[in-house]
């Protein structure tokens, strides 16, 4: 029972630790991680942790009934309960998806280049869906040429296979990827002003400058 209790507690703690790691890694890859396909990896880690917790409760009950190695079982169970109670309050302070997204963009693209992209896109003043030709939408030869030209100058547009959406409106240029199932993520730049806060019920932001912030919409 002692080995089972320790193993279950370790698995549960690892499942908790996996949450911010998975979230941050998804941001670095510029899209939420899924395992298996279309299933958020965080939920997989949570399911494993839940199974470990249930197994630990069962092991503890068996230990109490058998009156053997009760201290190990109870101690492991109390550790799991304490960790589960404390972890949610620690999660907001840990690196997550937006931190990973920020680190990749700031490190590989840089704020000046993001501002340059926003200035160019703001000249259209309209909403446009952009993405690799053939990635779920048709494209004319002119659109393919436009896409290839943009990617040559702004390689981050090709970091994700699917289409992205660029919206230039009210002095803000926004580039986002995603879907209603996964949410939408990306960044906003205000070429000639400052970015604005987003309603907490709609999403969250990570501001890196007065005119640049990274966003994640829940819908």
Per-residue pLDDT for 37 more than 90?
no
Q: What is the pTM of this model?
A: 0.85
Which one-letter DSSP state was computed for residue 170? T
pLDDT at 83: 93
pLDDT at 166: 87
Per-residue pLDDT for 67 more than 80?
no
pLDDT single digits (tens) 104-159:
999 999 999 999 999 988 887 666 667 666 655 566 777 778 778 888 899 998 88
Which bin fits 55, alpha (ψ -120 to 50), beta or left (φ > 0)? Answer: alpha
**C-alpha torsion angle, residues 192, 198, 202, 208 (rounded to 10):** 80
Residue whose C-alpha is closest to residue 29's, from 114, 148, 156: 156
Which bin fits 170, alpha (ψ -120 to 50), beta or left (φ > 0)? Answer: left
pLDDT at 135: 55
Cα–Cα distance, 148 to 122 (Å, whole number): 19
Cα–Cα distance, 86 to 105 (Å, whole number): 32
Which one-letter DSSP state was computed for residue 174? E
Over range 27-42, report the average pLDDT.
Answer: 87
Residue 211's Cα: distance from chain center in Å? 22
pLDDT at 129: 66
pLDDT single digits (tens) 95-113:
999 999 999 999 999 999 9
Residue listed under structure tokens 């079982």: 73
């Amino acid at each position: 029972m002692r080995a089972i209790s320790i193993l279950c507690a370790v698995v549960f703690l690892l499942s908790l630790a996996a949450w911010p790691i998975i979230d941050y890694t998804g941001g670095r890859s510029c899209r939420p991680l899924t395992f298996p396909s279309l299933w958020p990896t965080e939920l997989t880690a949570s399911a494993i942790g839940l199974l470990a917790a249930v197994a630990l409760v069962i092991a503890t009950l068996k230990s109490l009934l058998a009156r053997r190695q009760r201290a190990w079982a109870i101690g492991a169970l109390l550790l799991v309960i304490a960790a589960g109670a404390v972890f949610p309050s620690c999660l907001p302070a840990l690196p997550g998806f937006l931190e990973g997204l920020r680190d990749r963009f700031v490190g590989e693209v840089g704020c000046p280049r993001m501002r340059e992209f926003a200035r160019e896109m703001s000249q259209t003043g309209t909403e446009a869906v952009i993405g690799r030709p053939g990635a779920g939408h048709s494209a004319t030869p002119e659109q393919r040429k436009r896409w290839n030209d943009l990617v040559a100058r702004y390689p981050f547009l090709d970091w994700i296979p699917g289409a992205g959406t660029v919206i230039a409106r009210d002095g803000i240029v926004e580039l986002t990827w995603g879907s209603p199932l996964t949410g939408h993520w990306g960044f906003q730049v205000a070429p000639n002003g400052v970015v604005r806060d987003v309603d907490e019920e709609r999403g969250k932001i990570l501001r890196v400058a007065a005119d640049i912030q990274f966003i994640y919409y829940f819908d």
